[in-house]
Amino acid sequence: MENPIRHEPALSPDDLEKFFILRANAGDVEGLVALYEPSAVIAGGNGQIVIGTKAIRRFFAELLATRPQFALGEQSPSLQSDDLALTSSRFGNGSVTAEVARRQSDGRWLWAVDQFVINPKPED
């Protein structure tokens, strides 16, 4: 069954993290999957490598099952070369993400490679 939610496309690689946080905090697994290329690779931590849409969907479904909330990190401006971009964020705990995004033929940006880091929102 197709997801009836329309997801705003990332028209800049710098949009991807913002969309990730919004969709993750909303529990929107399909919205997260929509940020990745079909053959994307995620290093999910603890040596876990996730490849492709089906595995990415399972990864995020498991991650979001407990409804965690995520905080934005300090995002560095993307470093772009033609249709490739390096995106990165640093979090308060010192961890850093690194992702490779690619501009698609329709102008959207999607992540192709993601060194994933969980940055939970601090408790109030």
Give the model confidence (pLDDT) of 1-32 as tens digits.
344 467 899 999 999 999 999 999 999 999 99
Torsion of CA 47, 45, 77, 26, to 10 degrees: 140
Q: Residue 23: helix, strand or coil by DSSP?
A: helix
CA–chain centroid gap for 16, Å, is 6
Asked if 37 and 111 count as a contact pair (C-beta separation under 8 A), the reply is: yes
Q: pTM for the whole thing?
A: 0.88
Q: Which residues contact 48 (CB under 8 A, 6 or more apart)?
A: 59
**What is the pLDDT at residue 19?**
96
Token pair in block for residue 51:
């490849």
Task: Tell me the per-residue pLDDT of 71-85, one tens digit each, with 9 for 90 and over.
Answer: 888 999 999 999 999
Task: Assign 120 a pLDDT band (cuts: 50, 70, 90).
Answer: low
Architecture of the domain defined by 15-115: Roll (3.10)
